[in-house]
């Protein structure tokens, strides 16, 4: 196993270090295979030394590995790959609890060119088990992602908040202005919501807001963006939707709210909603103008008697 180096003391160290070490020729014939490699691959050194590495491990990234070895030999220079670039070279099982959420050993690899005792060109490949580091870093990244997601959500209803909605609307606005397409924005306000809080209490009002958002989400498309804009007011971004399509959706929402009251304890809370719709058109200055037009249409819906959908018109 280590006789190729001709040094028993060096071989002793190579076999006991907690690092995978293998040496290959330019044709990927295995010259050395230490105990770390034996233990994790379940392939004995006596079996693989003298054999072709890719034939023994056909699941290895063959073309990439051949190119890497040739490059290291040609340039006579050290090379390194991290688990972030390539999670592993050899698909070894990890030695962590199942609760760690990983399915394999994460590895950092080095490729070191050197000349053998008989003048042959060899490459030493080392594998470092960095699974603990990978798990920790992934947990930190997930924690950051979770915090960012929470910062985009309304804590009561779980839907997006105003800040996130306006950011997404700005992206959609710039997209249609640059590439063309359709875009509509819908504002929704629950009629006389203050009476719900005054009559049944704020907990009942919270339940109303939660159930209304759930019902809207049930009929909204995956691409639509529903957000709580403030209080009992909601905004919905409708990508690739013109006024005609927006009206159909808005009336479905209005009818759904009107026909399905919220049950709170022994109370049945009847609801209606007013909605204002606006559509992007060429020459519109910004997404803020689009929001303002939806808001004006919503105001007009309330002015006309509530429980209706109104589309923005220039004379508003």
Question: Hey, which residues are catalytic here?
Answer: 232
Place of tokens 């870093």: 137
CA 180/CA 278 separation, integer angstroms: 17
In contact, 40 and 147? CB cutoff 8 Å: no
Residue 96's Cβ-count burial label (10 Å; 0-12, 13-18, 19+) is middle
The tokens describing 216, both together, are: 């809207």
| Residue 1 token pair | 């196993």
Q: What is the DSSP letter of 87?
A: S
Tell me if residue 111 falls in helix, strand or coil: strand
Instruction: Give kind and range of the element (H or E) at residue 189.
Output: strand 183-190
> For the chain, how many residues are written?
316
């Amino acid at each position: 196993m280590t006789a190729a180096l001709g040094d028993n003391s060096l071989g002793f160290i190579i076999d006991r270090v907690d690092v995978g070490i293998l040496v290959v020729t330019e044709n990927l014939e295995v010259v050395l295979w230490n105990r770390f490699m034996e233990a994790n691959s379940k392939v004995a050194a006596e079996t693989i030394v003298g054999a072709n590495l890719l034939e023994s491990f056909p699941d290895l990234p063959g073309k990439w590995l051949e190119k890497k070895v040739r490059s290291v030999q040609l340039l006579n220079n050290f090379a390194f790959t991290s688990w972030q670039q390539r999670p592993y070279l050899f698909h070894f099982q990890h030695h962590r609890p199942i609760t760690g959420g990983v399915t394999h050993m994460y590895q950092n690899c080095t490729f070191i060119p050197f000349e053998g005792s008989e003048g042959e060109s060899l490459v030493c490949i080392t594998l470092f088990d960095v699974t603990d580091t990978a798990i920790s870093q992934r947990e930190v990244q997930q924690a950051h992602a979770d915090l960012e997601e929470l910062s985009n959500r309304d804590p009561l209803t779980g839907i997006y908040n105003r800040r996130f909605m306006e950011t997404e609307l700005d992206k959609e606005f710039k997209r249609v202005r640059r590439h063309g397409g359709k875009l509509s924005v819908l504002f929704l306000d629950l009629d006389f919501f203050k009476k719900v809080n005054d009559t049944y209490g704020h907990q009942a009002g919270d339940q109303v807001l939660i159930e209304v958002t759930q019902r809207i989400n049930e009929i909204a498309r995956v691409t639509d963006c529903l957000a709580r804009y403030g209080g009992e007011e909601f905004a919905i971004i409708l990508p690739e939707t013109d006024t005609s399509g927006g009206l159909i959706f808005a009336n479905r929402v209005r009818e759904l709210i009107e026909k399905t009251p919220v049950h709170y304890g022994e109370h049945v809370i009847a609801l209606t909603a007013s909605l204002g719709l606006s559509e992007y058109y060429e020459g519109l200055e910004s997404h803020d103008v689009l929001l303002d037009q939806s808001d004006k249409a919503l105001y007009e819906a309330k002015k006309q008697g509530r429980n209706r959908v109104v589309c923005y018109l220039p004379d508003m």
